[in-house]
């Protein structure tokens, strides 16, 4: 005999089942929000701006959904079931749809992103009010609110920890979305059984559940093909390696020009001309010192800068500080990449420290003859902090009295204001600077800044075997034509991070 409320399990069973559903629903909703924010930051840059706008849009949409729930008066279990299936499909497929849009219709990415965030947010906003109204049949209001909010917050906590540490590194964004879509569909299936005696069109609901699970299951099975299709289209060359870490998406492609490395969609090097970039980055500062023994490399997890440093016989030790351990592991074990960096990461002279460079500078007590700063461009505030006067003040403490530091500093042609902002920021902490530039075909004109406590010394000789630099032509790199000449620039501080907005504005003119 069914119980009076329409289920064989009784009021207590329904209460437990629905509270468990609240936990799952909260976890799923937050995953879709985090996935949208992560993809927006990958594609559009400036992670703080993208996460802020995605979260704001999502919360607004949840408010709209909560308001709309007042119009659902009858057949609440049926409405809850349908909404779960819609959330499962739209939320679960959100990362895959955005990946494909970015690859095939880049102009559609932004409207599709916010359209999906609005839709998913509205649907998620409908879920909790409906669950509370169903539970209200059997639970006192005071206990109802406290129990529902407790399980809601617990679900959000669990997934906020698991998303960056477990889900994305192990499954990737597409499979993470699909996994939680399947969990939403499982909640719908649970509701189908739990309220089977209340649902008027039970068979239609059952078919909808089966079709949704089948669609998500098929997408799960083809997730790798979806990722490959999207990335092959986006990167044009064949993708030979693609991994996600807690910090970034690492993609390696193979084309006519050899291997190319992308981090979060941004080109880091091309095999055909990386030697130009890395010779220009390393050797002017090393030669200015003359005989450096202790060298630190901040960033540069690909080992290319370390390869150039090891050309100097005077070097006794190299400390390489790279945030992402997956990068250093990949470039110390993958045969093609070890060939590119000449096994530099496996040198007995080199020690790898996987930590944040800002924190390492704060904690370290060592001093170095040369420090090579090879960070990605300041596309967001988390990277932008590594270009602030606070960072360069810490760098000053780690540099020996006769030492030199060199900083990769974006393009002085395309991002002229950004380049000279870095130079002005370095000078603001008391360094003497020697800005220079080199032509790297994959990037165009690229800039660097040498920082020291004494004027730049021109080298008499450079290591043998270089393909780009020689002592005769080196001084020419320090000459700037009129279209790259110095312009007034504001100091980049932690409190303002003007460099990030300047960089976005200047590069946005090239890549709208």
Long-range contacts of 329-334 (CB under 8 A, 24+ apart): 330/241, 330/243, 330/250, 331/301, 331/302, 331/303, 332/303, 334/241
479, exposed or middle or buried, with CB in 10 Å at 0-12, 13-18, 19+?
Answer: exposed
Which H or E run contains 266? strand 266-270
User: CA 425, CA 418: separation in Å to the nearest integer?
Assistant: 11
Q: What pairing do the DSSP bridges indicate for beta strands 266-270 and 238-244? A: unpaired
Of 342, 335, 269, 271, nearest in space to 311 by CA: 342
User: CA 227, CA 247: separation in Å to the nearest integer?
Assistant: 18
Phi, psi at residue 278, to the nearest 5°? -75, -35
Those residues with Cβ within 8 angstroms of residue 326's Cβ, 6 or more apart along the chain or in another chain: 169, 243, 245, 250
Please state the length of the chain: 512
Q: Are 82 and 209 in contact (CB under 8 A)?
A: no
Phi, psi at residue 503, to the nearest 5°? -60, -45
**DSSP 8-state code for residue 367:** -
**How far, in Å, are 6, 172, 321 from residue 291 at the CA level?**
84, 45, 22
Tokens 């437990």 found at: 16
Q: What pairing do the DSSP bridges indicate for beta strands 258-263 and 294-299? A: unpaired
User: CA 225, CA 197: separation in Å to the nearest integer?
Assistant: 41
Residue 232 annotated to the active site: no
**How far, in Å, are 30, 262, 359, 507 from residue 248 at the CA level?**
20, 10, 19, 21
- Sheet with 432-440, strands from edge to edge, namely 350-353, 317-321, 294-299, 368-374, 399-408, 444-452, 432-440
Q: Are 301 and 459 in contact (CB under 8 A)?
A: no
User: CA 3, CA 110: separation in Å to the nearest integer?
Assistant: 49
Q: Identify the active-site residue in 273, 374, 377, 396.
A: 374
Those residues with Cβ within 8 angstroms of residue 299's Cβ, 6 or more apart along the chain or in another chain: 321, 322, 357, 373, 374, 375, 376
Those residues with Cβ within 8 angstroms of residue 74's Cβ, 6 or more apart along the chain or in another chain: none
Known catalytic residues?
A: 374
């Amino acid at each position: 005999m069914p119980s009076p409320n329409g289920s064989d399990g009784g009021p207590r069973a329904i209460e437990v089942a629905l509270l468990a559903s609240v936990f799952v629903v909260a976890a799923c909703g937050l995953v879709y929000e985090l996935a949208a924010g992560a993809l927006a930051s990958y594609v559009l840059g400036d992670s703080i701006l993208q996460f802020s706008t995605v979260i704001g849009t999502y919360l607004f949409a949840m408010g709209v959904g909560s308001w709309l729930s007042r119009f659902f008066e009858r057949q609440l279990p049926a409405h809850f079931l349908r909404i779960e299936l819609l959330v499962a499909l739209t939320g679960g497929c959100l990362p895959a749809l955005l990946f494909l849009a970015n690859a095939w219709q880049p102009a559609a990415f932004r409207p599709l992103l916010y359209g999906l965030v609005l839709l998913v947010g509205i649907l998620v906003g409908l879920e909790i009010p409906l669950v509370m109204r169903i539970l209200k049949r059997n639970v006192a209001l005071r206990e109802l609110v406290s129990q529902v909010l407790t399980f809601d917050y617990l679900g959000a906590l669990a997934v906020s920890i698991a998303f960056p540490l477990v889900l994305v590194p192990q499954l990737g964004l597409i499979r993470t979305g699909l996994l939680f879509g399947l969990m939403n569909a499982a909640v719908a299936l649970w509701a189908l059984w739990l309220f089977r005696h209340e649902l008027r069109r039970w068979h239609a609901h059952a078919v909808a559940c089966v079709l949704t699970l089948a669609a998500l299951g098929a997408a799960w099975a083809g997730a790798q093909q979806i990722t490959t299709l999207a990335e092959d289209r986006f990167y044009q060359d064949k993708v030979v390696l693609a991994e996600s870490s807690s910090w970034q998406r690492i993609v390696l492609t193979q084309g006519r020009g050899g291997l190319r490395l992308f981090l979060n969609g941004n080109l880091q090097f091309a095999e055909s001309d990386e030697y130009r970039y890395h010779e220009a980055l390393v050797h002017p500062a090393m030669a200015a010192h003359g005989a450096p023994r202790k060298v630190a490399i901040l960033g540069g997890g690909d080992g290319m800068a370390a390869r150039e440093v090891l050309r100097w016989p005077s070097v006794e030790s190299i400390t390489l500080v790279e945030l992402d351990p997956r990068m250093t592991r990949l470039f110390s074990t993958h045969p093609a990449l070890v060939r590119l960096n000449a096994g530099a990461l496996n040198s007995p002279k080199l020690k790898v420290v996987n930590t944040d460079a800002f924190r390492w500078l704060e904690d370290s007590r060592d001093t170095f003859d040369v420090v090579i700063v090879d960070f990605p461009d300041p596309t967001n505030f988390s990277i932008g902090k590594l270009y602030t006067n606070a960072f360069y003040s810490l760098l000053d403490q780690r540099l020996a009295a006769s030492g030199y530091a060199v900083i990769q500093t974006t393009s002085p042609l395309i991002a002229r204001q950004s380049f000279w902002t870095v130079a002005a920021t370095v000078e603001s902490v008391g360094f003497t600077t020697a800005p220079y530039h080199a032509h790297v075909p994959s990037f165009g004109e690229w800039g660097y800044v040498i920082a020291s406590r004494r004027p730049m010394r021109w080298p008499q000789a450079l290591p043998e075997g270089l393909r780009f630099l020689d002592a005769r032509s080196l001084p020419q790199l320090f000459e700037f034509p009129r279209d790259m000449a110095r312009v007034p620039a504001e100091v980049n501080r932690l409190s303002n991070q003007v460099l990030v907005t300047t960089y976005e504005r200047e590069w946005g003119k090239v890549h709208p």
